Chain A
């Protein structure tokens, strides 16, 4: 079957660094997306990885290991506005997205 696993909730301190992990099992693989979703709002696209390695975008970076079925999202210099859920979604062989349940990130001052 197809499955995405990520932690349900994480807590971090303002100004610190946090890493949110995601493991996936899909029928075929055509890349992995990370989205941010504030409570009651629509998910918004953060990053996309299809090759192994690290993609950096400002304070956010995303890493992929295809052989391990593993990705992480790294958030640096945390701000209060980063409090949100972070959704991991893997693309299968038909380019369909398989979604994780999301990781709720709580930032404390």
Chain B
């Protein structure tokens, strides 16, 4: 089973519809992220959460909202979808480990992505 699971994997919908993308993880990480990826633009951060009570906007949060229902679940909503939100969406998790030598930066682990098309 995947450690970071995104649903759905593919979605085609119409302009104006409300859409929710879901992410769940079994890694026990506190930090969760939502990114979108467009050809030639790399990964852009939409929202991130460092724990259940902490939600932060990323660089492109307009038109999106999130909910951190539990440590393991982080969902992304498009309130009223528009065609330029067509993209590949990734959820990721990470941990920041406190060691006696200091903070240890840990890599992000990604879900398989949701390919979203808005007509």
Interface residues of A (CB under 8 A from B): 8, 30-31, 33, 35, 40-45, 48, 50, 87, 89, 91, 95-97, 99-102
Chain B hits for A97, CB < 8 A: 45, 108
Known: A31-B105, A48-B105, A95-B96. A42 touches B111 (CB 8 A): yes
Residue interface bits B91-119, CB-to-A below 8 A is 1, else 0: 00000100000010101111111010000
A87 touches B43 (CB 8 A): yes
- Point out which of A8, A30, A43, A89 has the most chain B C-beta atoms below 10 A from its C-beta: A43
CB within 8 Å of A: which B1-45 residues: 40-45
CB distance from B105 to the nearest CB of A (A): 5
Looking at A35, A42, A91, the one whose CB has the most chain B CB atoms below 10 A away is A42
CB–CB A30/B110 < 8 A: no
Question: What is the CA–CA distance of A8 and B111 in the complex, to the nearest angstrom?
Answer: 24
Chain B residues near A99 (CB-CB < 8 A): 42-44
The A interface is mostly helix, strand or loop, or mixed, namely loop
| Distance, CA A42 to CA B90, complexed state (A) | 8
What would be 16 A-B contacts, judged by CB atoms less than 8 Å apart? A31-B105, A40-B113, A40-B115, A41-B113, A42-B112, A43-B43, A43-B90, A45-B107, A48-B105, A48-B107, A87-B42, A96-B45, A99-B42, A99-B44, A101-B42, A102-B42
Picked from A35, A87, A95, the residue with its CB within 8 Å of the CB of B105 is: A95
Name B's A-contacting residues (CB within 8 A).
Answer: 40-45, 48, 88, 90, 96, 103, 105, 107-113, 115
Is A101 a contact partner of B113 (Cβ separation < 8 A)? no
A-chain residues with CB within 8 Å of residue B111 when the two chains form the complex:
42
Residue of B nearest to A46 (CB): B107
For B44, list chain A residues within 8 Å (CB): 99
In Å, the complex CA distance between A97 and B90 comes to: 14
The CA-CA distance from A45 to B92 in the complex, in Å, is 12
A contact residues around B112 at 8 Å (CB): 41-42
What residues of A have a CB within 8 angstroms of the CB of B103 in the complex? 30, 95
Closest residue of chain B to A8 (Cβ to Cβ) is B40
CB distance from B69 to the nearest CB of A (A): 22
